[in-house]
């Protein structure tokens, strides 16, 4: 199976190279292509005295953000370890550099080409290789195991959307997952799906979601004041904030917004597209609905906003803070079949959260909020409009639900500590 896998990867490598040459982004350009091939700078070596070398790999911004408490705990527990973090995206790399200064190296992970993975493992020499969520790269895992590294999955989750594909390649995955020493997963359902994929049940531990610990750290009253000033708001506005929206979803939101405004004409709408490069596209859609789009980067202290202005967030790293000013939050990628986005960020701020029917990637969070009476699924623009109107018509009940949301999130803390204990015990076995 590895032969077939590597043959397919080598076949598409020229296309990958061309993609990176043409993309020309700040962190994903021709220079970074050498990193993707496992060629890192001359100084990218563990110091001779570093007996413990830890490599943690996460996909992008969301995954890095979720496991920050765990990474910081690792650094505190092993202050002399050589600790490096890799991502698959340039935005993830930038985020890691900004939020994890205690890490020794931040870098783009190699493509999972056998020669690139082998070269990267030889250079970094990890004694512990950690993957966050379901970053399963067969060649990296294979060469990490051959090098003698311990291998751990943290915050593991497997969505119902993906399990169908994984079942089809179970014989291959059984071999790949066999390289892991331990799997730390979020829910019993994730454990069951991992077993379906071929993982050894004796290696699986259920430890909850590290993201809850991170959310607790992000709640700071200062962010509320900062967000008001940032968007030039008074704080008296009622705001529907739609976070991490995807293509095809803004039109549905605006249809709902038109209906909501029939009863609440002063309600403000803020849209934060999942990919900020879509900001101009979103402004065009807003104009088609006869609203006035206002890019966040164009708002100054002299800007006067009206209820007919819809703010479009065209910056990275601000959404979690901006949820502090929302009256009601909507989580994107859910009215379109893309698995949803994390509803816990607004919930941690004490906000009631709405989302569409596609929440397969965040079932644990969805269940938690619905049990607390603070999360609501809507199937279409009409249901979204009706639910927002209903909630706004009952402000005291809305406030109580918001308190319940925050309490539910904060009560789930402790996963990073449990994952750290698992890591310590694993390293003791080495």
* Chain segment 390-406, per-residue pLDDT in tens: 999 999 999 999 999 99
CA distance between the termini of the chain: 29
pLDDT (tens digit per residue) in 213-243: 988 888 898 999 999 999 999 989 999 999 9
pLDDT score of 24 more than 60: no
Give the CATH architecture of domain 219-410.
3-Layer(aba) Sandwich (3.40)
Please tell me the CATH code under which domain 22-209+413-428 is placed: 3.40.50.11720
The CA distances from residue 164 to 72, 78, 197, in Å, are 35, 39, 10
Q: What is the CA radius of gyration of the chain?
A: 22
Q: Is the pLDDT of residue 302 over 90?
A: no
| Strand, coil or helix: 210 | coil
Distance in angstroms (rounded) separating the CA atoms of residues 396 and 225: 23
Q: What is the pLDDT of residue 198?
A: 96
**Rounded distance, CA 266 to CA 95, Å?**
35
Over residues 119-144, mean pLDDT:
95
- Summarize pLDDT for 73-118 with one digit per residue, the tens: 999 999 999 999 999 988 899 999 999 999 999 999 999 999 999 9
- Same CATH topology for 22-209+413-428 and 219-410: the answer is yes
Once rounded to an integer, what is the mean pLDDT over residues 133-145?
95
Would you place residue 200 in the very low, low, confident or very high pLDDT band (cuts 50, 70, 90)? very high
Q: Which is more confident, 425 or 21?
A: 425
- What residue spans define the domains of the chain? 22-209+413-428, 219-410
Average pLDDT of every residue of the chain: 93
| pLDDT mean over 343-351 | 96
C-beta separation of 226 from 320 below 8 A: no
What pLDDT, on the 0 to 100 scale, is given for residue 382?
98
Which band of pLDDT confidence, cut at 50, 70 and 90, is reported for residue 285? Answer: very high
Please say whether the beta carbons of 354 and 330 come within 8 A.
yes
The pLDDT value recorded for residue 374 is: 98
């Amino acid at each position: 199976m590895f032969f077939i896998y590597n043959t397919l990867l080598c076949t598409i490598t020229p296309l990958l190279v061309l993609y990176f040459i043409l993309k020309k982004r700040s962190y994903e350009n021709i220079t970074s292509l050498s990193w993707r091939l496992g060629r890192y700078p001359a100084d990218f070596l563990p110091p001779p005295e570093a007996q413990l070398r830890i490599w943690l790999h996460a996909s992008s911004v969301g995954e890095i953000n979720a496991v920050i408490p765990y990474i910081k705990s690792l650094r505190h527990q092993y202050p002399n370890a050589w600790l490096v973090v890799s991502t698959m995206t340039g935005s993830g790399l930038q985020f890691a550099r900004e939020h994890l200064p205690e890490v020794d190296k931040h870098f783009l992970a190699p493509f999972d080409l056998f020669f690139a993975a082998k070269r990267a493992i030889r250079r970094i020499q990890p004694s512990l290789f950690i993957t966050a969520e379901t970053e399963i790269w067969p060649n990296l895992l294979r060469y990490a195991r051959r090098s003698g590294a311990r291998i751990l999955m943290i915050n593991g989750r497997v969505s119902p959307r993906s399990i169908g594909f994984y079942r089809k390649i179970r014989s291959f995955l059984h071999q790949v997952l066999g390289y892991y020493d331990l799997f730390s997963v979020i829910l019993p359902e994730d454990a069951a799906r991992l077993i379906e994929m071929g993982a050894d049940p004796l290696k699986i531990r259920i430890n909850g979601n590290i993201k809850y610990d991170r959310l607790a750290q992000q709640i700071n009253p200062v962010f509320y004041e900062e967000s008001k000033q940032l968007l030039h708001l008074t704080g008296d506005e009622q705001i529907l904030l739609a976070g991490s929206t995807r293509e095809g979803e803004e039109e549905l939101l605006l249809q709902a917004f038109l209906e909501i405004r029939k009863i609440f004409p002063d309600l403000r709408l803020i849209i934060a597209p999942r990919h900020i490069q879509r900001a101009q596209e979103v402004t065009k859609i807003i104009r088609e609905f006869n609203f006035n789009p206002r890019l966040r980067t164009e708002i100054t202290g002299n800007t006067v906003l009206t209820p007919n202005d819809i703010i479009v967030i065209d910056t990275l790293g601000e959404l979690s803070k901006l949820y502090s000013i929302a009256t009601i939050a909507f989580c994107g990628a859910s009215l379109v079949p893309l698995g949803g986005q994390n509803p816990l960020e607004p919930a941690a701020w004490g906000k009631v959260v709405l989302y569409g029917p596609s929440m397969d990637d965040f079932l644990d969070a969805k269940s938690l909020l619905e049990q607390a009476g603070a999360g609501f699924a809507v199937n279409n623009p009409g249901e979204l409009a009706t639910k927002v109107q209903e909630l706004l018509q009952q402000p005291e009940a809305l406030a109580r639900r918001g308190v319940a949301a925050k309490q539910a999130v904060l009560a789930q803390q402790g996963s990073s500590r449990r994952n750290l204990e698992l890591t310590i015990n694993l390293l003791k076995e080495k």
